[in-house]
């Protein structure tokens, strides 16, 4: 899996304050593996990586906040039939910063979504990333 372009795409999405929402779908990828079993191992690896991504909300020295959450879109690696399995999840990134007047925290929200599916020894990967409108919270 080549996820190297995701940080660049996300940086472009969150470089300016979001005033709406947007999505960018990446081209579908297909990979032929040695067996169905090795394909399922890839799904399990993706799930393990995603489960390691969440971080609790942290207040940084500059007053900004950062939090990473995981939204499982499947019940782990799901077996859908003989030689057919899938995994799907969305990772959310929440970045907050005090507004100019300091009474609120503006939080921007961006995400990475991936859906992986094995049919026999063929792995299909669909991925997208995007952002939603900023939200505002009272400053503590």
* Residues 96, 99, 104, 105, Cα dihedral to 10°: 0
Output the pLDDT for position 18.
44
Output the pLDDT for position 19.
55
Three-state SS across 43-101?
Answer: HHHHHHHHHHCCEEEEECCCCCEEEEEEEECCCCCEEEECCEEEEEEEEEEEEEEECCC
Output the pLDDT for position 11.
46
Output the pLDDT for position 12.
47
pLDDT along the chain (140 residues), means of 10: 47 51 96 98 98 94 91 95 97 92 90 98 98 88
User: From the centroid of its chain, how far is CA 111?
Assistant: 5
* 81 domain-assigned: yes
* 1 domain-assigned: no
Could you tell me if 112 and 91 are in contact, meaning their C-beta atoms sit under 8 angstroms apart? yes
Output the pLDDT for position 79.
97
Question: Domain count of the chain?
Answer: 1
Residue 75 domain boundaries: 26-138
* 87 domain-assigned: yes
* 50 domain-assigned: yes
Output the pLDDT for position 133.
92
* 100 domain-assigned: yes
* 65 domain-assigned: yes
User: From the centroid of its chain, how far is CA 34?
Assistant: 27
Output the pLDDT for position 120.
98
* 102 domain-assigned: yes
* 126 domain-assigned: yes
């Amino acid at each position: 899996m080549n996820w190297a372009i995701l940080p660049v795409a996300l940086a472009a999405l969150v470089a300016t304050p979001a005033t709406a929402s947007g999505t960018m779908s990446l081209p579908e990828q297909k990979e032929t593996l040695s067996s169905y079993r090795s394909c399922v191992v890839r799904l399990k690896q993706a799930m393990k990586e995603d489960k390691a991504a969440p971080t609790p909300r942290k207040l940084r020295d500059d007053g900004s906040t950062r939090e990473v959450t995981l939204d499982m879109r499947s019940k782990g690696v799901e077996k859908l039939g003989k030689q057919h399995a899938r995994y799907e999840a969305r990772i959310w990134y929440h970045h907050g910063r005090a507004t100019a007047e300091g009474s609120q925290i503006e939080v921007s929200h961006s995400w990475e979504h991936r859906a992986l599916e094995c049919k026999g020894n063929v792995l299909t990967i669909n991925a997208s990333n995007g952002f939603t409108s900023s939200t505002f919270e009272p400053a503590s």
